[in-house]
Structure 1
Amino acid sequence: MRFHGTQVAAGLLSALPGAQALLRFSCSQLVVERLDPLVNPGVVGSPPSSPDRRWRKFHEAINAFNASMDPAKLDIPGTATCTTCQFADDFSNYWTAVLFFRARNGTYHRVPQKGNVFFEQANGGMTVYYTPTINGRGKVTAFKPGFRMIVGDPMERTAAGAAKYRQLTYTCLQNSMTRTGETKNLPPKPCPAGIMANIRFPTCWDGVNLDSPDHASHVAYPTSGTFESSGPCPSTHPVKIPQLFYEVIWDTSQFNNAADWPADGSQPFVWSYGDATGYGTHGDYVFGWKGDALQRAMDQNCQNDKCNGLGSQSLQQGNKCTVKTTVDENIDGWLDELPGGMKVTDASGKVVY
């Protein structure tokens, strides 16, 4: 089934009840490996001792992705030969951490991803949204070549600390259409259709810097309300940018046997950077649309995975875009520890297991 029409979009995006236009499209999985070119540029195999300690799943732009992602090389589309995304003009890089299941016996297994509703044929990956306006109010300025950002903090382990990231949540999927009941923590009970990680980025930009030392302070949230409620941008970040939003579906259904869960009944899923709470969830972005394609899409208020003047490709074509791993390690099957020797820690930094 193809995704089209605002009626379906409104049903899926309960957080955007009045949205009249948005891009919603699939980006298949490019590669799964322990690299982080934003925080650990040039390092093959993000080390457990790094300040960020992320273990990554990358999506899209086969030749544009590498361990360093040199910010001086702004022409990402010019260095890539394929994209995993449905929009053929999009060579951006989208990535998140990887979710693992920790069994009662202490071993770990990587949780696979699956295609989102209406994108079931995608090879995992994520659904990407760009929202230009809400109810037709105002305009947004598309990201510029060289733009990159991170939202969330992988070191966070508390609800209070995670509160500053307003819209990083999880949905315990009862079925593929579930879009209610978002939580800030990982769901504490089995989810029949999997766990969906919802990652919404800040929507205000300082208008000058394409990046910042922490990859976050050049962007900000509205001073009040949200992007969806047309909240105003702060004077320090006056430029309204599209709301970038990831939906990543983790197929946890194969791990729903209560006999395999911890004896105390606690939830068994752990992020690859050593977080069993879920409060450290985060996402990364490196802009890579060709020319002014994204700005044209935002100005046109394009809908879903079709937009006049923008090239497109099938999910099957996107699935074919892959890249070989550069980190030589076992990531599949049952593991005695998280890749890279990552330890699971609590709010105080104490090793839990």
Structure 2
Amino acid sequence: MQWPTLFVLGVLSTLSTALLRFQCSQLVVQRLDPLVAPGQIPSTHLHQIVGGNAFNVTMDPKTMDIPTQATCTSCSFSEDFSNYWTAVLFFKARNGTFKRVPQIAQISGATAGITVYYMQDALYDTKQASKVTAFKPGFRMFVGDPTARSKADVAKFRQLTYTCMANAGSRSPETSEFPSTPCAYGIMANARFPTCWDGVNLDSPNHMDHMSYPVNGTFESQAPCPDTHPVRMPQVLFEVVWDTSKFNNKADWPTDGTQPFVWSFGDGTGYGNHADYVFGWKGDALQKLMDDACVVNCPTANAKTQGSAAMNKCVQTAQVKEDVDGWLTELPGGMPVTYSK
């Protein structure tokens, strides 16, 4: 299915309840990971981060109140100081050098970054009528496995996928591995987080066990949450569009014809796709929006938004100083490229 932007806005404007879809511009690109590797400078691999400018090497919820420490956000909702991040995509040329793949913002005026969704029901559900409980201060989660190198490895995460985009509206088909042929517009990487919470823990040692998928199927199937994780949360979805069209010359691809893209953590298969989320909405702003008739552009009293100029102005200087934009002889941090375990 293809969803041109104007078509999406036209359909969703008829919904009765909340479906948030918004852009977050680039905050910083650097090797820090306060969720998986707090205090480690630098972290093992490169990330692209969006959201509030309280992002730091350590973000301990016991000592940090994100909305009060952030002074700006690169997201269009001005009360959303959360941080959202993923790894960075690189092109590996035939000569073995690497080049960071630029990103395309899906919403006009934004600078690169991530398109974020918060949903009550499946994206294609025209009612969005289910009740969900918004995340709480201190909440954080992770999805995916950077060491995954096979379809079986990634299957347990259910909805970490790629779309080979023919144009800006492409949304299907989705694969769990990197596309094997050139994509005319680019590659969209999709990360959907689990939606069932244990109702107690804001985090867990692996940043995943406090969350669960529905008993069977996916969030879209409207299956119930398991008894161990009874609280239904919003579906958080990241869409990141990588402008791989700049690297579609097959003469630059590996001589064996395999695809040339690798993640910054050294994954040449795509199965290691993963994403991080640290909640930082101000007060009960997110719950109000999820309870409101707020759809995409959210013309309601509860939606405090800002323009692209303010979003783009919210940036950080990288704490880890290294070249991430030139042609590199190795991935940042020296991560080796692997195709199997």
Please give the TM-score of this superposition, normalised by the length of structure 1: 0.90
Pick the aligned partner of 1:66 from 46, 50, 56.
Answer: 56
Pick the aligned partner of 1:112 from 102, 118, 128.
Answer: 102
Matched, 1:210 2:202: yes
Matched, 1:57 2:54: no
SS at match of 2:333: helix
For residue 174 of structure 2, what is the aligned residue in structure 1? Answer: 182
Closer, same or farther in 2 for the Cα pair 1:212/1:192, shift >3 Å? same
Pick the aligned partner of 2:261 from 269, 286, 292.
Answer: 269
Indicate conservation of the 8 Å contact 2:16/2:293, yes or no: no
- 1:344 to partner: Cα distance: 1.0
- Name the CA distance, whole Å, in 2 between partners of 1:136 and 1:339: 42
SS at match of 2:115: strand
For residue 303 of structure 2, what is the aligned residue in structure 1? Answer: 310
SS at match of 1:94: strand
- Name the CA distance, whole Å, in 1 between partners of 2:56 and 2:239: 24
- Name the CA distance, whole Å, in 1 between partners of 2:262 and 2:130: 40
Please give the TM-score of this superposition, normalised by the length of structure 2: 0.93
Indicate conservation of the 8 Å contact 1:103/1:262, yes or no: yes
- Name the CA distance, whole Å, in 2 between partners of 1:237 and 1:121: 39
- Name the CA distance, whole Å, in 2 between partners of 1:76 and 1:321: 15
Matches within 5 A, 1:210-229: 210-229=202-221
- 1:229 to partner: Cα distance: 1.9
- 1:317 to partner: Cα distance: 1.3
- 1:332 to partner: Cα distance: 1.1
- Name the CA distance, whole Å, in 2 between partners of 1:127 and 1:19: 22
Indicate conservation of the 8 Å contact 2:164/2:179, yes or no: yes
Pick the aligned partner of 1:91 from 74, 81, 96.
Answer: 81
Closer, same or farther in 2 for the Cα pair 1:205/1:341, shift >3 Å? same
- 1:137 to partner: Cα distance: 4.4
Indicate conservation of the 8 Å contact 1:6/1:20, yes or no: no
Closer, same or farther in 2 for the Cα pair 1:301/1:155, shift >3 Å? farther
- Name the CA distance, whole Å, in 1 between partners of 2:29 and 2:215: 37
Pick the aligned partner of 2:183 from 165, 183, 191.
Answer: 191
- 1:2 to partner: Cα distance: 8.5
SS at match of 1:303: coil
Closer, same or farther in 2 for the Cα pair 1:76/1:4, shift >3 Å? farther
Structure 1 unaligned segments of length 5 or more: list them. 11-17, 48-53, 349-353
Q: Percent identity among equivalent residues?
A: 58
Aligned residues: 332
- Name the CA distance, whole Å, in 1 between partners of 2:150 and 2:12: 33
Indicate conservation of the 8 Å contact 1:74/1:145, yes or no: no
Matches within 5 A, 1:111-130: 111-116=101-106, 119-130=107-118
Matched, 1:296 2:293: no
Indicate conservation of the 8 Å contact 1:25/1:304, yes or no: yes
Partner amino acid, structure 2, of 1:58 = I
Quote the RMSD (CA, aligned, Å): 1.8
- Name the CA distance, whole Å, in 2 between partners of 1:56 and 1:89: 23
For residue 36 of structure 2, what is the aligned residue in structure 1? Answer: 39
Closer, same or farther in 2 for the Cα pair 1:4/1:85, shift >3 Å? farther
Indicate conservation of the 8 Å contact 2:162/2:179, yes or no: yes
Matched, 1:319 2:283: no
Indicate conservation of the 8 Å contact 2:55/2:83, yes or no: yes
